[in-house]
Structures are given as C-alpha cells and as structure tokens.
Chains A and B, each alone.
Chain A
Amino acid sequence: MTSFVKPFIRRKNEPTNALGLVRADYDGAMSTLCAGCGHDAVTATMARAFFELSIEPHKAVKVSGIGCSSKTTAYFLRDSHGINTVHGRMPSVATGAIAANHELAYIGVSGDGDSLSIGLGQFVHAMRRNVNMLYVLENNGVYGLTKGQFSAAADIGSTAKKGAVNELPPIDPVSLALSVGATFVARGFSGDRDQLLPLIKAGLKHKGFGLIDVISPCVSFNDHKGSTKSYAHTYKYYNPAIHADYVPPSEQIKADYAAGEVMPVKLHDGGEIRLRKLENGYDPRDRAAAIGKLFESGQSQEIITGLLYINENDKDMHEMARMEDRPLNQIPYDELNPGAAKLKELQKGFR
C-alpha cells in the first residue's frame, strides 16, 4: 500500500529530456498491483512516453475510473493532477475537464470492465464527441479486483480460472471505436514495449479521441491455459502489423525513408506519424479497410496490433463547440458579465 515509498534516486549522467528532466521525474507512487501484472508495464511505458515527448508533468492530466487499471494513474506522473472517478464514468469527467481547458495533455486509463460493461455508454459517447484525449484501455478479459469474473471482452470459449466457459460474444473496443467516430484507433500488447511506446506518443500528439486497446494479461485471474487473454495465448497469435512512430516537428528533416516502406501522416502540431510494416497497400486512413482488416484477422484468431486507423481531418470536440482558443477556465469574469444595463435591455421582452 502507500506505506511503500518509492525511492527517488538520481543517477549520474542520466539521460534528460528537453526540459532537463529525467525519466524518474515521470514516476508516481509505488504500484500495488500483483507482480507481473501487464498494467505495470503499460504504466512504465506511459511514463516514458511523457518523458520522451518532454511534456511538463503539470501540463498533463490523468483520469481514470475504477478497477485495477484505473488505479494505475497514481503510479506515474506524480507531478500531474490525477482524478480517480467513479466506475465507468471517467469519460464524462474527462469531457468536462477538457471542455474547461483543452490545452493540457489528457490521458485516460481504464479497463475492459470499466469501459465495456458499466461504462460502455460513456466510452462510446466520448468517442462520438471526438474528445481530445488518449484513452488507454488495459484489456485483460477479466474482473481482477473482484477476483476473476468474466468481463465483456472475454472471448467465446475462453475459460475462467475455475473452469467456467464464456459463451457470450465479446465486445471489441477497436471495432466499436471504428464504428462510432474515434479518430485514432490502435491495439497494443503490454509485452511489446517497442511497439506500444511510439503508439502512446503518437496517440498523445493526435488531436481528437485516441484509443489504444492494450492486451494486458492478468497474472492472478486470467493467465491460465484456456484463457485467450493470457501471455502465452497473446504471444502465440500476436501480429504486430502496423508500427507507428511519432516524429516531432524538430526532427523531420533528419529522418528519411524509402517511398512505399513508410506512410507519413501529418499531425496538427506539425509533427508526423510514420507508419511501417504495412502489408499490401493497407492504408490506416481508410476506415472501411480498417474494419475489413479487423474482421479478417478475427477469423483467424490472430491478434492484430498497431495503429489500425488514423484520421487527422475530423473536428475534435473543442472545434465542434466553436470555443475560442483561450481555455474557458481562463476567461476573466469581466468578459462574461453582460452588466446591469444589458439586463435591463434584455427584460424589455418580458414586459
């Protein structure tokens, strides 16, 4: 519990980012999750992404719901504001927070129970609104904190630790996201940091709702034989199909690539996402293709990962609401007060 205080050690010659901060500056409290939990790897990767992007910790905001995954917002970015909301309702709190100030970097952390059962409605509606945030869904197919019930992400035929077989079809967050308007849709695996790290960086830089469905096995309740969300099963069917690198505006000139191997996608901040490992002309800007690809891979049990879809053209919530650039929480009151004389004038119609 919180009695463990994570030691803060500064090493000599430790690499620093553009802000002069070291990787440990992006840590948080000690994790209280089980040893070997996929979530801890994701937490470390998220912390690294913020570090590598040189985001000032206090300009980042962490939001989460309830569950093992939601706890992890306390385990990184100790110098950021974080809010652990109620079960399944993180998207609405994030939506309100982002409406109040769109200038911060928002990361939401949730799980398959939090997002796909109790919170399915809010999850879908945040994507519809194209709220500008990165939503990391740590997906293990099981309720961990209540000790092993199936979640809505459990595959047909997957077994529980005590042997029960799931017969209900799973809700796939990726296909859902593609159908309701998310503009950055990816799948990752907690066991593949090389792929996940650039995905998180790209997702944070994308303007609009970014979803990364991260297969993140539960070592205590869903890592057994018969589970389709175990480490073993995931490694077996894993296909890292589309690799995405985020290249900041400052580094664009240096990198070069042969046409055909890499597909660049321009971002609003002037940076670029470079997609690699694309098979036979697959274009992640094509939503129909992404849906087709997903369906195809599902047929063969393959777990397709990487950036499956990206759309930099749709308006995000802030733009759709036609809000001015200055965040709402920074507009001084004298610009909001219509004044006594105006009130008199407005009431002429009430006579």
Chain B
Amino acid sequence: MSKARINDFTIKVGNVNGTGSASANALLMKIIFRMGVPVVGKNIFPSNIQGLPTWYEIRVTEKGYRGRSGDIDIMIAMNPDSYKRDLEELSPGGILLYDDTWPRPHFLTRTDITVIGVPLARMCNTAFKVARSRILMKNVAYVGAVAALLDLDLNIIHTLLREMFAAKPKLVDLNLQAVALGYDYVKEHFPGMNDFKVEARNLTEGKVMIDGNTAAGLGCVYGGATFGAWYPITPSTSLMDAFVKYCKELRIHPETGKHKYCIIQAEDELAAAGMIIGAAWNGARCFTPTSGPGISLMSEFIGFAYYTEIPMVLFDIQRTGPSTGMPTRTQQCDILLCATASHGDTMHILLFPADPGECFEMAVNALDLAERFQTPVFVLSDIDIGMNDWMADELTWDDSYIPDRGKVLSSEDLKSVDKFHRYLDVDGDHIPYRTIPGTDPKGAYFTRGSGHNKFGGYTEDGAEYKEVVDRLKAKWKSAAEKLPVPIVKRAKKPTKTAILSLGSCDGAVIEARDKLGADGVYLNYMRVRGFPFAQAVEDFIAEHDQVFVIEQNRDAQLLGLLLSETNAPREKLIPLLHYSGEPLDYKFVRGALSEALNLRKTA
C-alpha cells in the first residue's frame, strides 16, 4: 500500500437535502479543525427544502489554502440519485464510501478507486426506534465511518457532540452511539485502510470557522446600525438572521425588555430600500441585505438616494442570474448592476470582501462611507463567502473606534450658520452638510428626487441641474482613495505579467499562483477591494504588459469597469471567466492561466 496522504485531500458528501446532513458535515469539518488542521467547507446545495441532491465538500489543507482543490479524494455517496455523477467525479486513487444496505455492484466498474460499503441504514434501523432518528443518525454514522478511515480523534468527537447538544443531553448519547456504529464497522471490516489520514497539528490557533453573512451581521452590530429592513431572499437571509440573533443577545434591556434596535421584514425589496432610506434620512444607521433580484427591484430607490444624497448600505450576496437564475449557486455577476444601479447618470461605491473577516470589517466601512459620502454603498459578497464556513482569523475589534457620521449639523452647529442650504459645497470637498429632522427650525429643507439646484430648490434650469450632478460625480470620484486599498502580492522575480481579481476568487488565485510560481511562472497579483478604483489600480495595470482579469461572471464585468474607469488599454486586459455557479477552484485558474500564457508565447 502506498504512503498515506496526510492533511491534504478533499472529502465530498453527496446527500439528500432535508435529512440533517448539514449538521453531520459541520461536525466532520469541526473535528478536523479542532485537530488543528485547516479546512475549507463548500456547500453546493439546491434551491429546495427536502428531497433534492445536495453536496458538501470538505477540503483538508495543511497549507491553509482557502479555495477548492478541484479534486475529490473521498466521496461519501449517500444519495442514490447522484451515485452515477458522484462516482464519475472521484479522482483516481480515491475512496468511495456508500451505504451498502442496498448493494450497488456497478461501483466495481471503476478499478482505480477503492469502494467501501457500510450498511448505514441497516445498522441505524436496528439501533434506533424512531423513524426520524433513523434518517438523521445515518448521517452521524457516516461521520463515524470517516473518522475510522482518517484516524480522527474520538475524544474531540465526544467533546464536540457534548458541546453541540449541551441543551439536549439525551441527544449526546444517541449521536455517540451512531458515531460508534460507523466507526466500529469500518475498523472491523476494512482494517488497515491507510490512504488518507488527518494528523493533529497546531495550525488553527487563533482561527474561527465563520460564514460571511454571520460576520457581516455582526459587523452591522459593531458598526452601530440600529435599523435594518429586508425581504427574505437566498442567499442573504442568514445575514439578517445573524443581525437579529446578536441584537437579541446584546441590545435588549435585561429588565424592561425594550429594544435598542428595530428590524422590519418588508413586503418586498422596494419597501426594504425605502425603509432604510427613511431611517437614514432621519439619522439612524441602517442597512438592507439582499441579492441580485433585490437590487433590480431597489434600483429606483437607489437612484433616489444617490440624487438626494441619503446614506444607504446594501449587502448584495450575489447568486447566479439572469432572472431567478440558480438561486443557491455563486457568482460575481452584479458588479455592473451595482456600479450603476438606477436610471440616469448614477455611480455608486462598491466594496469587495474576499472572506468573512473582510465582511465584518467592510460592514463597518460601509456604514461609515455611506454617511461620509451621503450615498449608497454596496458590499458585494456572494454565496461562497456568505454561506460557507470559512476558517478565518478570529475577528477583532478596536475599542477606540468612533463611527464616522459624516457632515451632519447639530442644532448647536446651526447657530453659527447664516443660512443652511442642503446641497451647497461649503468646504470644497464636494460633500454638502445635512441636517436631521426634528433638530432645529433652521435646518429644515425639502428633499426631492426631482431636479434641484445647489440650494435644494426645485429647478428645471440646465445650468443649475448640471452644477449639482457634476458635484455628485466629483464626490463619487473622491471616494476612490478612501476605500479599502487594493492588496498587491509581488512575485519572487520581476515580471510583466499580472493577475487582477476580486472577492471570493482570492483563495483559488493565490493557490494557482503558488503552483505556477513553483513551475517558474511568475505573476504579480492585485486584488481590488473597492470601486471607484484607487489610482494604484491604474498604476498596477500600467506597469505590466498583460493583466489577467479573473472573475466569476460571463461578461467580464470587472474588466468592463476597468476599461471605462481607468485609462488601461483594451489589449492589455485578458478576461479569465468562471461562471458555472460552483465556487472557483485553483485548478481552473491554473489551467486557464497556463493555457493563456502558452498561447501567447506561441502566438
């Protein structure tokens, strides 16, 4: 038998959704994480509640890579409906574990893999009386089977189960029993399996497993948001769920039961947008989480907030489009939509987090920026970041943080103002002062989405109109250097070739670049984190001969913005696009880059 692969392989579980597989997978991943070995979890799930195929990938990666590997080494095939596909996907040398209560001899057609049959259903049906337990425990039993295959630490499993079911101690024994069923069966019937192992390390110290939506919801709490309005939409719902959870935990007066927050489930996204505009206009920090279809619906209001200069924070957890698209599959397909959402000349501020840590930070940035620039700010996350559990550095908070509420005049401030005009650029920074209703009679003004002059009065005069919209453009541009700066990674040797990417592409790009570097292909890498682009973006493109723009959409949307908003020449920018809806893997990136580089060399 060949030497075991230690801490570097991918497990994939093919299951039926609605059977409790999510908690079994989370358990499996956490065991490995607790053993001190970095893990990556990717949930590839259907837009459905019960009965359709669902997959979960757990990548064990000692090197701490954050993307998918593109290989499947261990397939746990729990769903007969997807057996065929799951079998095909398994890499040579891999292990297929399935429930052989109903034997499937055709698995033997592949000679380059090892098939392990475990009678999970039969064992659980014998061991457990309640029908629902039998289904749920079957999943916990495969965790036991995998634990036996990979030498997972049984003590950690026990500790985790006790923590998970602290409130329901009865369930601890039930789960332990199920784990033992799978574990013992594999140890007894497949002794000496030694292909893949997890060995304990100390590489997860100071790390947490967290999804981007939870991190963003927590960021909204720390950023001081008191109001949120939303309409349920996959995959953004868990962001508001997190905000609700932490508000309940942190913002309810223990004695009076009174809330220091208000969350409204709106009748649709249009209303959610209107509500946060109303609350922000009235001086409360607020936000709405949504996804592409929600942005489409909110667009009229986004233009209103842009023109009337009302702070607005939107989280777009991107999913595939167009239209309803594949609601549970990931993409970066709303970049252009968000950059210019609404009719007329409108340009917005975008932030591009790459992981849950940045979701937390950028939630706070967005609340500050929206009030500083008095305009809509979009945080463009996606399903991969938002809904998958990522290993991230533990979130930290600087207690000296003071929210930037922007240029708001208090009653006291107004005393020294001769006459207040809402849209006058008094300081020459393109940002006018605003007042909050109810503060002072001197601060009253009329907010209108119709043509207005710099004093806030209605106008249909071309020159007056232009004066205001020109200032809006200048204001938007001035945000470029105030956004999170692009991150640049230089190759070991000087090179004229580079990668430019954003958001959740990061993990796969970093890994592909490492591998190419090992083969002597050197690439500089810039990850943009905000729009409008900082000058550094244009400079970075200028210093290279060719720049591969890697993004997850069909139409090269980031590349399009680079062309329209920088002076980068068209021929320098080469799109590398991934838009199947599954999270990006490094093999795709490495393959696409190699191919493109070879082609260019031979051309």
Contacts and interface: CB of A to CB of B under 8 A. Distances in A.
A79 interface: yes
| Chain B interface bracket (under 10, 10 to 19, 20 to 34, 35 or more) | 35 or more
A79 B445 CA distance: 7
Contacts, number: 219
A95 B264 contact: yes
A104 B437 contact: yes
Contacts of A61: 282, 437-438
Given A92-B275, A350-B210, A59 B438 contact: yes
Contact of A99 (B210, B279, B402, B460): B279
A135 to B, nearest CB: 14
Contact of A96 (B33, B286, B444, B457): B286
A328 B210 CA distance: 29
A333 B403 contact: yes
Nearest to B401: A337
Contacts of A258: none
Contacts of A31: none
A343 B396 contact: yes
A97 to B, nearest CB: 4
Contacts of B440: 58
Given A82-B446, A84-B449, A96 B224 contact: no
A335 B278 CA distance: 23
Contact of B301 (A84, A86, A328): A86
Interface string B265-277: 0111011111111
Contact of B449 (A86, A94, A339, A351): A86
A13 to B, nearest CB: 24
B16 interface: no
Interface string B383-416: 0000000000011111101110000000000000
A66 to B, nearest CB: 8
A122 B283 contact: no
A94 B278 contact: yes
B258 interface: yes
A174 B484 CA distance: 52
Contact of A351 (B209, B221, B262): B209
A74 to B, nearest CB: 6
Contacts of A350: 208-210
B284 interface: yes
Contacts of B443: 58, 81
Given A2-B458, A89-B270, A101-B437, A328 B226 contact: yes
A57 B444 contact: yes
Interface residues of A, number: 59
B246 A85 contact: no
A83 interface: yes
Interface in A64-81: 73-74, 78-81
Nearest to A78: B444
A273 B260 CA distance: 33
B301 to A, nearest CB: 6
B110 interface: no
Contacts of A255: none
Nearest to B310: A83
B227 A100 contact: yes
A1 B273 CA distance: 31
Given A79-B444, A80-B444, A84-B448, A324 B270 contact: no
Contacts of A91: 271, 274
Nearest to B252: A322
Contacts of A351: 33-34, 208-209
B210 A324 contact: no
A342 B279 CA distance: 27
Nearest to A105: B438
A63 B264 CA distance: 19
Interface string B236-255: 00000000001001110100
A331 B260 contact: yes
A170 interface: no
A339 B398 CA distance: 8
A193 to B, nearest CB: 25
A89 B274 contact: yes
B300 interface: yes
Contacts of A337: 222, 224, 399, 401
Contacts of B402: 333
Contact of B282 (A2, A73, A100): A100
B222 A343 contact: yes
Interface string A307-351: 000000000000001111100110101011111101110110011
Contact of A97 (B33, B221, B282): B282
A93 B224 contact: no
Contact of B279 (A1, A59, A96): A96
Given A58-B438, A328-B262, A336 B444 contact: no
Interface in B474-497: none
Interface string B338-363: 00000000000000000000000000
B279 A100 contact: yes
Contact of A339 (B261, B263, B399): B399
B271 A125 contact: yes
Nearest to B397: A340
Which has the most chain B C-beta neighbours within 10 Å: A86, A94, A129? A86
Interface string A93-115: 11111111101100000000000
A336 B227 contact: no
Contact of B444 (A81, A122, A324): A81
A103 B284 CA distance: 14
Contact of A1 (B257, B259, B261, B458): B458
B447 A81 contact: yes
B574 to A, nearest CB: 39
Contact of B267 (A93, A96, A125): A125
Contacts of A80: 437, 444
Contact of A322 (B257, B271, B279, B437): B257
B403 A92 contact: no
A85 B224 contact: no
B277 A96 contact: yes
A52 interface: no
Interface in A162-196: none
Contact of B275 (A63, A99, A121, A323): A99
Given A93-B278, A100-B283, A340 B449 contact: no
Given A89-B271, A104-B438, A339-B397, A96 B278 contact: yes
A212 B233 CA distance: 35
A92 B266 contact: yes
A340 B397 CA distance: 5
19 contacts: A56-B441, A58-B438, A59-B438, A78-B444, A92-B274, A92-B275, A93-B278, A93-B281, A96-B281, A99-B264, A104-B438, A321-B264, A328-B227, A328-B262, A329-B436, A333-B403, A336-B260, A343-B397, A351-B34
Q: Which 3 A-B pairs have the closest CB atoms?
A: A96-B278, A92-B274, A96-B275
Interface of A: 1-2, 56-59, 61, 63, 73-74, 78-86, 89, 91-101, 103-104, 121-122, 125, 129, 321-325, 328-329, 331, 333, 335-340, 342-344, 346-347, 350-351
Given A93-B275, A104-B437, 11 more contacts: A81-B446, A89-B271, A89-B274, A95-B264, A96-B282, A100-B284, A101-B284, A122-B274, A321-B262, A331-B260, A339-B397
